Structure 1
Amino acid sequence: MNNALELDELRNQLLDEIKSKVSLTDPVERALRTVRREVHLPGATPAEAYTDEAVSIKENPNGPLPLSLASVPSLVAMMLVQLDAQPGDRILEIGAGTGYNAALLSELVGPDGEITTIDIDPGVTLHARDALNTEGYERVRVMERDGLKGAPEHGPYTKMIGTVGFWDLPRTLCEQLVEGGRFVVPLRWRGQTRSVVLIRRGDTLVSEGMELCGFVPIIGQDGERTTALMGDKVRLHHDQDLRFDSDALTDAFATPVTEVWTETRTGRRESFDGIWLRATVFEDAVCRIEVTKEALNDGVRRPAIPLRSCTLVGENSLAYMILSIDEEADPAQQVQLGAAGYGPEGAALAKKLADHITVWGADREAAPRLTVHPIDASDGDLPDGHVIAKEDSRIDLSYA
């Protein structure tokens, strides 16, 4: 088979797979069928370039996560749908990556639009520039910049998109968006990340939808901490405003576990991360628990997902999600969800988490309203919701 025809076939097969996961708009589908992903991934085989998986393009010698990553194509497509780029839009992309997303954006905004993509890593920007030039997207502006500062000299922008994970949103960056402009950003709070659609309303950003996602964190933000328990066999990954007593929580694991089961059931492939999202709207001390194989061998109750399960933490107690699988049940009902608690208040925390599971189970698509306020916003200016303080902003969450 001709190599070009083979690549076209692989690209179209990938699009068919993406369409089974994401409701694409016609412009986004046309862009995905037009831009050649393999050109942006010169080290990948055609099959790798057109598989719905992330591809590392720059490893991190100091950590487990790569410094730069070509995102999962279906995630790229989902965020482009969220962005709703139109002909003539002026867009700032934070995180240049391979240049693939910037090429897609260029197709969407057309000859009357402008794309500026920035990255702090000179190697990444060089790679993106070369790939974009090869494919004829010379009009895309590629800049070596700190993504937290943006590129104000080419703003203001009608739309902005982050292709790296943000723990906080600096005001200097948000001010580069026009009034009513749209910012799609992977935002992290309480251990989980959502691709949030934010609309600028004066000094605030108001959500207009959010979807589960995962991204390499942006360089320059370090808002999460890790508390080690049981000699580092169990770890709590949490926002910096939460402080935990590691000795008291280690002692909690010496107490009997309390299991609280709900009537909520899911299929084995169904995501239940919406429970985590819901918990962040009502609880302060929500975080991610990581339970190692050593802890499991010591008899610690297995979390729903050992590396990343929603956890509620008290002064000397904690509770996290658990599950049970019934192989004989209907495939859509095989997984039963519950909570396991340790410590003096473990049963009460497990009951609280189980209540969140039950409410989520009755309305699994419900998403809260998220509003980002400047850090110096007064309490009187905030809606009547649950507030999480960051360094540059205050996030208000509510189902109202």
Structure 2
Amino acid sequence: MTEPDEARRFYAKLMAAHAQSADPRIEEAFASVPREAFLGPGPWTVFAGKGRFETPRADPSYIYQNVLVVLDADKGINNGEPMLHAMWLGKVAPRPGETVTHIGAGTGYYTALLARLVEPGGSVTAFELEAGLAARAEANLARYANVDVVHGDAVTDPLPPSDVIYVNAGVVAPPAAWLKALQPGGRMIFPWRPSETVGVAVVVTRRENGFACQPFMGSWFIPCVGASVAGVAARIPTRERAARTRSIWLTADKAADRTATAIFGDVWFSSRAIRADSAR
């Protein structure tokens, strides 16, 4: 087998390529954070395609590939595909000094990458609802001085003002409080799962005149407790209408109009683009 450090450095190059970002710090982050430190003792159970396999032994080189690793088999919770997260990190572009909220931190691996990307001066608040996972994340992230792990419900608990909100659980719509927590120029990335047949990753940017929205790839995550069931009055989009979405609005600020692609209570989605403004 390849030495773990060598395997991780090569894996980091692959992840940086998938990120499609000019930021060299993405490769540095993947190279500096040992994935095995967040997975528990090996051998590990991994998913690839539709199969589940156990690594032959507890050699970290086996998990420096684009595989999901089981964290809680009974609840279907995994450490997600690194390639997907590389693309998300490239899209949301965390910067030094920024404040990040990570929703659905699991055992903290992707939290650690976010923490590296906002150094120096930045910080990460990591929410995890499952008590066992939150305890593991707190232990795993103890050496990251800029991370605060919260065992709590990000749907009902207040979020800190954030430059980046990184969501790792599927929602029918982002709660209004999440949108309000975004700082000017802030970005939120989340798995939009308005129905069982529609799953798309969306990046939202808070501009001076509204929330710009860009669906950019298919994406499936486990449902977010408290934000994964549509109300009876919801207007649920088809896959095509979801893909045409270009902005998100708070109903309190603007009533849904004929451009609406989806409506979920106090949040609605529109096919009308937000014009560019001076927000960074």
5+ residue gaps, structure 1, are 226-238, 244-275, 282-366
2:264 corresponds to 1:368:
no
CA deviations on 1:345-392 (whole Å, 9 max, x unpaired) are xxxxxxxxxxxxxxxxxxxxxx6342221244554x64x524311133
Q: How does 1:184-333 map to 2 (within 5 A)?
A: 184-190=189-195, 191-201=197-207, 204-208=210-214, 210-223=216-229, 241=234, 277=239, 279-280=240-241
1:111 counterpart (107, 120, 135): 120
Q: Structure 1 pair 222/200, CA: closer, same or farther in 2 (3 Å)?
A: same
Q: Structure 1 pair 137/28, CA: closer, same or farther in 2 (3 Å)?
A: same
Normalising by structure 1, what TM-score?
A: 0.57
Question: CA offset at residue 203 of structure 1?
Answer: 8.0
Equivalent residue for 2:96? 87
| In structure 1, distance between residues paired with 2:27 and 2:245 | 29
Equivalent residue for 2:163? 158
| In structure 2, distance between residues paired with 1:220 and 1:22 | 30
Between 180-189 and 197-206, the greater mean CA deviation after superposition: 197-206
**1:147·1:218 contact (CA, 8 Å) conserved in 2?**
no
Question: CA offset at residue 214 of structure 1?
Answer: 1.6
CA deviations on 1:269-316 (whole Å, 9 max, x unpaired) are xxxxxxx74x225xxxxxxxxxxxxxxxxxxxxxxxxxxxxxxxxxxx
The SS at the match of 2:133 is helix
2:263 corresponds to 1:389:
yes
Equivalent residue for 1:26? 24
Question: CA offset at residue 397 of structure 1?
Answer: 2.8
Normalising by structure 2, what TM-score?
A: 0.80
Letter of the 2:261 partner, please give it. V
2:67 corresponds to 1:53:
yes
For the pair shown, the structure with the greater C-alpha radius of gyration is 1
CA RMSD of superposed structures (Å): 2.8
Question: CA offset at residue 195 of structure 1?
Answer: 1.8
1:138 counterpart (126, 135, 145): 145
2:44 corresponds to 1:170:
no
| In structure 2, distance between residues paired with 1:100 and 1:163 | 12
Tell me the matched-pair count. 255
| Percent identical residues | 24
**2:200·2:219 contact (CA, 8 Å) conserved in 1?**
yes
**2:184·2:206 contact (CA, 8 Å) conserved in 1?**
yes
Q: Structure 1 pair 222/196, CA: closer, same or farther in 2 (3 Å)?
A: closer
Letter of the 1:32 partner, please give it. F
The SS at the match of 1:220 is coil
Q: Structure 1 pair 56/391, CA: closer, same or farther in 2 (3 Å)?
A: farther
Equivalent residue for 2:155? 148
Question: CA offset at residue 108 of structure 1?
Answer: 0.8
